[in-house]
A and B are shown apart, each in its own frame.
Chain A
């Protein structure tokens, strides 16, 4: 059994490709159904934002699983071939996959580290997986943990302040050009997280109108709904520019979306009324030479940082703290996941039964010293027989069900019924001393029960 993730993000793939892989919520049921139809895939979740497309899955065998996930992604859009896709994909399995998900939801893998939207997007992806019953015991536990790790990183480090302060800086700068934001028209180009955040800040200040345009028309309509704005076809970006007082550009495209010419024309049509542009992306979407156009004011992410006085060192320190938190949680999670394998569970169960049997026998023999060898043999036989018969059913079921779709549920149930802690399961590899300490504690609790 492996937990794997196959995906691409803003660092590995251009926005055009990421957009092709986007699956709308309404088509998610069909897509996840298609994915779960591959026999070796036990659980799956699709995480799609404008900066990343990732498929998480629990599969019987890692390499085979990666191939199936590739097939699945290639099939999302008719124009895609595996040749286009493969160079942009990253693959992580088990510990690395969990670590990746935790880093993603802690916003450590975001284009703008610490941006707050990603946590909600992970939640939405998980809800969709739940709705379409593609998530199971393992993903339930792992994703829930990822969300709680994301939350705790947010509350316990100052990583989120940075993203908020950047969009705050955008508003502050806009106020140096426009005295009354309530009379200004905002144009949001692209659907990048920081762009949306900055737009949200401006909307909170009550701008007059919000125009939105993205390459993906559907997404533009969704954004328009969110900001109660108006979606503009992407082809009309240039003709819309003169209408906008404030332009926020966050497309994630690897090239300039707005050129110096565009702005010169826009300012001319605006009869020199100032136009204020925020380029929140890396690499930049607005040609930096726009700064030479009179009455056009363009600020990129570095300028916004400079405005807040954000300290790079401090930010890196916060990120390092967050990474440490994530690492610790990954270790815990891995211990739990390892315990979900059928074999160690069965071994641990047998061992536990054996241990209980032995300690109880020892206690009895200690009290009944007069017993003969033969009597002892009979009592030992009785104890073994009870233990074996009692365990027979659970062990057979575990072995049989481990390979089934719900296998992990059985293993998890067995672990809970028999109180097999992660520690005990892992102690198979750990030092025997630790194992004994655990057992003594166990015995104490049992003898307390006896006394009652």
Chain B
């Protein structure tokens, strides 16, 4: 049952992705309602899957890489449904849904037990949740940065096509970028702190310099610099967009670092 539901979720996200991308490149606005509906259906299936897991195990399933990626995708789609549909920014779907779909796919490709951590202490659970929520913030910032660069390029090259028409205004994307980082950064900070505390409690040291931790720290420093740069030397607009895209690469490398912790995952890759 759970298996069927996750496949259904993946199928619906894939369908929504295709519909949103078609919507992005066509003048007609009819598709977007269907696309949003399909995304909503996928989200419902996804929520039921999660709900069933919670009932079965008594907690949110985030303790394996696969579960964490699934939870991440769920959060992303939730952000889209709340922010995107409420503010009439259906176009966000064309970027968020593919990302959510790819997360689910990468989760499926990873072995079931990859990155699994035993929840010895409550802090581990908190650490994972906070980190995933922070990552959702950075993912939205990444999407906003991507859209910003696309729109910026279209305006600079004076291509007034359907994409230029559908993408939101630059200053909105810049604000979305900033707010997403402002949302994600404190969560990631707390995530790293609770992670360090858990590490101290389980293996007796705050930092063991494994790839996951190194990339997480680099990512944290990077986003800290991005936030500071905006306020002090005007790292906004185009530069902020570039920086958040680069920053998200750090996030992905951290994920890979998590996978590398389990040798069988590397063999699988």
Partners in one complex: yes
Interface residues of A (CB under 8 A from B): 173, 175-179, 268, 270-274, 291, 294-295, 297, 299, 303, 306-307
Point out the residues of chain A lying under 8 angstroms from B169, CB to CB.
175-179
How far is it, in angstroms, between the C-alpha of A173 and the C-alpha of B170 when the chains are bound?
A: 11
Residues of B within 8 A of A306 (CB): 158, 160
Chain A positions within 8 Å of B170 at CB level: 176-178, 274
> What residue in chain B is nearest A176 (Cβ atoms)?
B169
Task: Give the CA-CA distance A179 to B170 in the complex, in Å.
Answer: 8
Measured in the bound complex, the distance between the Cα atoms of B171 and A173 in whole Å is: 13
A contacts with B: majority SS = mixed
Contacts of A178 in B (CB 8 A): 169-171
Residue B234 contacts which of A175, A177, A272, A291 (CB distance < 8 angstroms)? A272
Residues on the B chain within 8 Å of A179, using CB: 168-169, 171-172
Q: Does B66 interact with chain A (Cβ within 8 Å)?
A: no
Query: What's the Cα separation between A307 and B164 when bound, in Å?
Result: 11
Shortest CB-to-CB span from B154 to chain A, Å, is 8
State in angstroms the CA–CA spacing of A271 and B240 once bound together: 12
Whole-angstrom CA separation of A290 from B69 in the bound complex:
44
Among B158, B235, B236, which residue has the most Cβ atoms of chain A within 10 A? B158
Which residues of A lie under 8 Å from residue B235 when comparing CB positions? 272
Q: How far is the CB of A172 from chain B (nearest CB, A)?
A: 9
A307/B160 in contact, CB under 8 A: yes
Contacts of A307 in B (CB 8 A): 160
B237 at the interface (CB under 8 A from A): yes
B234 near A271 with CB under 8 A, answer yes
Answer yes or no: B155 CB below 8 A from chain A CBs: yes
For residue B151, CB closer than 8 A to chain A, the reply is yes
Given contacts A177-B171, A178-B169, A178-B171, contact A295 B155 (CB under 8 A): no
Bound: A178/B235 CA distance, A: 18
Residues of chain B within 8 A (CB-CB) of A291 are 156
Contact among B158, B164, B239 with A303 in the assembled complex (CB-CB below 8 Å) = B158
Closest to A180 in B: B171
Question: Could you show 27 A-B contacts with beta carbons less than 8 Å apart?
Answer: A175-B169, A176-B151, A176-B155, A176-B164, A176-B167, A178-B169, A178-B170, A178-B171, A271-B233, A271-B234, A272-B234, A272-B235, A272-B236, A272-B237, A272-B239, A273-B234, A273-B236, A273-B237, A274-B170, A274-B237, A291-B156, A295-B237, A297-B155, A299-B158, A303-B158, A306-B158, A306-B160
Cα A344 to Cα B168 with chains together (Å): 71
Q: How many interface contacts (CB-CB < 8 Å) are there between A and B?
A: 50
Chain B residues contacting A271 (CB-CB under 8 Å) are 233-234, 236
Q: Which residue of B lies closest to A183 (CB)?
A: B171
Q: Looking across the interface, which residue of chain B has its beta carbon closest to that of A245?
A: B171
Shortest distance in angstroms between A244's beta carbon and chain B's nearest beta carbon? 15
A294 to B240, CA, bound (A): 12
What is the bound-complex CA distance between A272 and B239, given in angstroms? 9
When A and B form their complex, which 3 residue pairs have the shortest distance between CB atoms, in order from nearest? A271-B234, A179-B172, A179-B169
B contact residues around A297 at 8 Å (CB): 155-156
Is A295 in contact with B164, judged by CB distance below 8 angstroms?
no
Query: Inside 8 A of B237's CB, which chain A residues have their CB?
Result: 272-274, 294-295
B168 cross-chain contacts in A, Cβ below 8 A? 179
Chain B 155-210 interface residues, beta-carbon cutoff 8 Å to A: 155-156, 158, 160, 164, 167-172
The reply on B238 being an interface residue by CB < 8 A is yes
Alpha-carbon distance between A268 and B168 when the two chains are bound, in angstroms: 24
A173 contacts across to B, CB distance below 8 A: 155
Closest partner residue, chain A, to B169 (CB atom):
A179
Please measure, in the bound complex, the distance between the C-alpha atom of A268 and the C-alpha atom of B167, giving whole angstroms. Answer: 26
Assess the B171–A272 pair: CB atoms within 8 A: no
Indicate if the CB atoms of B172 and A295 lie closer than 8 Å. no
Identity of the chain B residue whose Cβ is nearest the Cβ of A299 in the assembled complex: B158
Known: A176-B155, A273-B234, A297-B156. 14 other contacts (CB 8 A): A176-B151, A177-B170, A178-B170, A179-B169, A179-B172, A271-B234, A272-B237, A272-B238, A272-B239, A273-B171, A294-B239, A297-B155, A303-B158, A306-B158
In the assembled complex, the Cα of A358 lies from the Cα of B236 at a distance in Å of: 94
Cα A176 to Cα B158 in complex, Å, equals 12
Determine the chain B residues whose CB is within 8 A of the CB of A295 once the complex forms. 237-238
CA distance A303 to B160 in the complex (A): 9
Is B156 touching A274 in the complex (CB atoms < 8 A)? no
Q: In the complex, what distance in Å separates the CA atom of A295 from the CA atom of B172?
A: 14
**How far, in whole Å, are A274 and B238 apart by their CA atoms in the complex?**
9
Please encode chain B, from 217 to 251, with 1 for each CB lying within 8 Å of some chain A CB and 0 for all others.
00000000000000001111111000000000000
Neighbouring A residues of B164 by C-beta, 8 Å: 176
Complex Cα distance, B168 from A347, in Å, reads 75
Closest chain-B Cβ to A240's Cβ sits at a distance in Å of 19
Q: CA separation between A261 and B151, bound complex, in Å?
A: 24
Given that A274-B171, A306-B160 are contacting pairs, would A177 and B238 also be in contact in the complex, using a CB cutoff of 8 Å? Answer: no
Residues of A within 8 A of B156 (CB): 291, 297
**Which chain B residues border A303 with CB–CB below 8 Å?**
158
For the complex, give the distance between the alpha carbons of A270 and B233 in Å: 10
Complex interface residues of chain B between 129 and 172 (CB less than 8 A to chain A): 151, 155-156, 158, 160, 164, 167-172
For B171, list chain A residues within 8 Å (CB).
177-179, 273-274
Which chain A residues lie closer than 8 Å to B239 at the CB level? 272, 294
Expressed in whole angstroms, the Cα–Cα distance for A177 and B238 within the complex equals 12
Q: How far is the CA of A175 from the CA of B233 in the complex (A)?
A: 26
Minimal Cβ-Cβ distance residue in A for B167: A176
Q: In whole angstroms, how far apart are the Cα atoms of A297 and B158 in the complex?
A: 10
**CB closest chain-B residue, reference A296:** B156
Instruction: Look across to chain B and name the residue whose beta carbon is closest to the beta carbon of A292.
Output: B156
CB distance from A131 to the nearest CB of B (A): 47
Contacts of B158 in A (CB 8 A): 299, 303, 306
- Please report the C-alpha to C-alpha distance between residue A291 and residue B164 in the assembled complex, in whole angstroms: 17
B38-67: which residues lie under 8 A (CB-CB) from chain A?
Answer: none
CB distance from B230 to the nearest CB of A (A): 9
Residues in B whose Cβ lies below 8 Å from that of A272 = 234-239
Q: Is the CB of B155 within 8 A of A294?
A: no
A242 to chain B, nearest CB (A): 12
A306 to B157, CA, bound (A): 12
A177 interface neighbour in B155, B160, B236, Cβ under 8 Å = B155
A271, B156: Cα distance in complex, Å: 19
Complex Cα gap A268–B233 (Å): 9
The minimal Cβ–Cβ distance linking A305 to chain B, given in whole angstroms, is 11
A177 to B169, CA, bound (A): 5
